[in-house]
Amino acid sequence: MWTIIHKMGSPPWFFRFSGTLVRWLLPITIALLLVGAVWGLLVAPPDFRQGNSYRIIYIHVPAAVVALAGYYVMALAGAVSLIWRIKMADITMRAAAPVGAVLTAIALVTGAIWGKPTWGAWWVWDARITSMLILFFLYLGVVALFEAYENKTAAARACAVLSLVGTVNIPIIYKSVDWWYSLHQPASLKLTGESAIDSSMLYPLLLMILAFYCLFALTVLLNMRAELVWAHRESSWLKQLAGGA
């Protein structure tokens, strides 16, 4: 365990390891996304109440799920960075924040588009969409705070503190928005039950969630590599790699 953490903290090792990983992950992610999208868009049967508009679920839900998980990944990296002062954790956090923000934005946009045929309005203050909006603000806060600091080591530590505070808060936010919504909920806005989802609809959804997790990992790794190449441009190990290539 410790040797793995130690290795992860070493830029040359991580650079080589992530290179191999990315080379495998890129085609796998693209294949999963394509299969999932075709399955969800063309093969799965339509929902008996919402018709075909429910097919947006295959991107909306995975984006929302992975965006939330991404915040925890970011906060975990932040905790590692605060406790052990590992540079690589700073870079992970920096790489994860914009990806999470993009995923949250996708969940919001697809949710709005889904709302039009379902509720007749582009924007409805539904509990889940509202929570997503707040998560979006939380992500933007981390990204903006990182940009605001000149000193990037301090920026990473400030973002780590912020994302840890956010992590403690997220369950409270989700719960409170849930209660708020159930108090004000007009009967006509009840969402269709999600407990009884048919397996012909569930499998493509699970596949898409897996695909989005892979995509998140891939983009975070790519961002980290981009950051590493630039930060270590003066290091001998990178020069050797570049010179040898």
Partner 1 sequence: MYFESLSAMWHMDGHGIYVWLAYALTAIPLALTVWLPIKRIRQHWRWLEAEQRRVAPAASRTVNEAGV
Partner 2 sequence: MLPDSPLLSLHAAFTRQFVRHMRSLMASPADVANPLLFFFMVVTLFPLGLGPDPDRLATIAPGILWVVALLASLMVSAKLFASDFEDGSLEQLALAPYPLAVLVLAEVAAHWLTTGFLLALVSPLFAIMLGLPEQGLSTLVASLLFGTLCLTLIGAVGSALTVSIRRGGLLLSLLIIPLNVPVLIFGTTAVTEAVIGGNPESWLALLAGLALGSLALTPLAIGAALRVSLDS
Q: Would you state the torsion angle of the CA atoms of residues 177, 95, 60, 129, taken in this order, to the nearest 10 degrees?
A: 20
Of the candidate residues 75, 177, 205, 221, the single one contacting partner 2 (CB under 8 A): 177
Least Å distance between CB 204 and partner 1? 12
Other beta carbons within 10 angstroms of residue 131's beta carbon come to 20
145, 158 in Cβ contact below 8 A?
A: yes
Residues 6+ apart with CB under 8 A from 202: none
- Please give the residues from 45 up to 104 whose contact with partner 2 meets the rule CB under 8 A: 82
Name which of 8 and 173 has its Cβ closer to partner 2: 173
16 lines the binding site for partner 1 (CB under 8 A): no
HSE (CB half, 13 Å, CA atoms) of 102? 10
Asked if 40 touches partner 2 (CB under 8 A), the answer is: no
Amino acid present at 128: R
Residue closer to partner 1 by CB (options 158, 222) is: 222
Which tokens belong to 136?
């979006």
Taking CB within 5 to 8 Å according to partner kind, which of partner 2, partner 1, none is near residue 32? none
Q: Which one of partner 1, partner 2, none is in contact with 116 (Cβ closer than 5 to 8 A by kind)?
A: partner 1
Q: What is the DSSP string of 81-123?
A: HHHH--HHHHHHHHHHHHHHHHHHHHHHHHHHHHHHHHHSSS-
The reply on whether position 173 binds partner 1 by CB under 8 A is: no
d(C-alpha 193, C-alpha 171), whole Å: 22
Site stretch for partner 2 (CB under 8 A), options 22-30, 56-64, 145-153, 208-216: 145-153
> CA of 21: how far to CAs of 25, 53, 136, 215, 231, in Å?
6, 36, 29, 12, 21
- Residue 113 binds: one of partner 1, partner 2, none (C-beta under 5 to 8 A by kind): partner 1
Q: Which residues contribute to the site for partner 1 (CB under 8 A)?
A: 26, 37, 41-46, 51-53, 55-56, 59-60, 63, 98-99, 102, 105-106, 109-110, 113-114, 116-117, 215, 218-219, 222-223, 225-226, 229-230, 233, 238-239, 242-243, 245
Q: Which residues contribute to the site for partner 2 (CB under 8 A)?
A: 82, 134-135, 137-138, 140-141, 144-145, 148-151, 154-155, 157-158, 161-162, 164-166, 168-169, 172-173, 175-177, 179-180, 183
